[in-house]
Amino acid sequence: MSYYLYGIDFQKHNEEVKQVWDAFNAGKPIRVPVTLGINPRIYLLNPELNKEGVTFKDYSEDPDLMAKVQMQSQHYVRHNMLQDMEMGLPKDGWYVYVDLQNTYESGWFGAEVEYRDGQVPDTRPILSEDNKRMLFDKGIPDPFKDGIMAKNWRFYEHMKANLSNYVYEGVQAARVALAGLGTDGPFTMAANLRGGTELCIEMYTDPDYVHGLLRYITEATIHRIKSLRQALGQELKPKSFFFADDSIEMLSLDMYKEFVLPYHKMLVSELGGEGPHGIHLCGDVGRLMPTLKEELNLNTWDAGFPVDYAGVRKALGPDFRINTGPTVALLLNGTPEEVDAECKKILESGITEGGRFVLIEANNLSPCTPVENVAAMYQAAKKYGVYTY
């Protein structure tokens, strides 16, 4: 098992990728597409790749180093990780961006970013029993000047001004983006700031506070995203909005409807147009998905695990796009034969009915994942994910 893949005909691969996606988007897929969720942690947290020993703290505090690591990471992925995306050197240049991982929202509200050995950056809850209304008193933070968003805008301006200097393997970076235009979701953010256990207890002991916190977070999120869109000259209400809220896995359907659904509706109404919209939800949320589909006008679910593959397809219908696949733990620790068997089980479960299924890792590929296991997943789609008409 290794971290490098050899002998790929990138031109042939890219031609096939175009055919696969053209057919998928036309509603006549020829086979199940395969994509991978990957970010620079796959490079930074793999000592075999990160020969210079760059830490996440180093990466997070230097915009030029951030750009360099991103180009190195993209180069690695584009030459070693088989998926239905363009491989080889990019024709249109590298893509660099302000990368604050999943700390950008908590950090904006005032949580301190912590760097832990062998892990991505994270934050701790800042709202205790003694100060749990602290954020209400402070008001909505500034999307450009407060907390980690000040760093976000500063890094973005720097990277944009230095774009021509970002060159790797003879290819220049061509575009830059900033963080903060999405959201990990109001309930997840409330759990991050207050603590998941505390938040769930207070849904019974102090429901008014929970509603107040979720309303505050939602209104702040809408303000931040609209402000950033306006500053970048983007459409203020695009047709579709895609967001996440993984922590709703902890809730029953009734609790979701009472506490979280009103704020999801606010997000979608204020940040998206007529839709349909999409959501990323890890975990065992199949019981919630029909309600989310109906109430939020969703047509895409980026799923994790566990998933009742046949059950969710039946519940959501053949026209609803579902992205899921083998767990990242299996891809990291399993054998190619085990990956093949798991993909076969998924692809033959009935989830591919209707042609709106994409095979992905569930969810976000782990550092040090062997390329042989990724290749086994890709080849499984070619064996078991073919459509016949």
Identify the H or E element spanning 60. Answer: helix 56-61
Compute CA distances 301 → 45, 88, 161, 292, whole Å: 28, 29, 36, 10
322 is a domain residue? no
Predicted pLDDT of residue 321: 98
Q: Is residue 97 part of a domain?
A: yes
Within 233-366, residue ranges assigned H as helices are 253-255, 261-271, 289-296, 309-316, 328-333, 336-347
- Distance CA(359)–CA(327), nearest Å, equals 11
The answer to whether residue 194 sits within a structural domain is no
Whose tokens are 């349909």? That residue is 276
3-state DSSP assignment of residue 121: coil
pLDDT (tens, 9 = 90+) of the chain, 389 residues, equals: 799 999 999 999 999 999 999 999 999 999 999 999 999 999 999 999 999 999 999 999 999 999 999 999 999 999 999 999 999 999 999 999 999 999 999 999 999 999 999 999 999 999 999 999 999 999 999 999 999 999 999 999 999 999 999 999 999 999 999 999 999 999 999 999 999 999 999 999 999 999 999 999 999 999 999 999 999 999 999 999 999 999 999 999 999 999 999 999 999 999 999 999 999 999 999 999 999 999 999 999 999 999 999 999 999 999 999 999 999 999 999 999 999 999 999 999 999 999 999 999 999 999 999 999 999 999 999 999 999 87
Helix (H, G, I), strand (E, B) or coil at 157: helix
Q: What is the pLDDT of residue 1?
A: 78
Domain count across the chain: 1
d(CA 345, CA 36): 19
For tokens 């969710």, name the residue.
Answer: 312
Which residue type does 100 have? Answer: L
Residue 144 is part of which domain span? 1-180
Q: What is the pTM of this model?
A: 0.96
pLDDT given for residue 388 in this prediction? 87
Tell me whether residue 344 is in a domain. Answer: no
pLDDT score at 269: 98
Residue 9 falls inside a structural domain: yes
- Domain-located, residue 298: no
Is 94 within the bounds of a domain? Answer: yes
Residue 296 resides in a domain: no
Contact by Cβ (8 Å): 218, 263: yes
Backbone angles phi, psi at 228, to 5 degrees: -70, -40
Structural element, H or E, at residue 375: helix 371-384
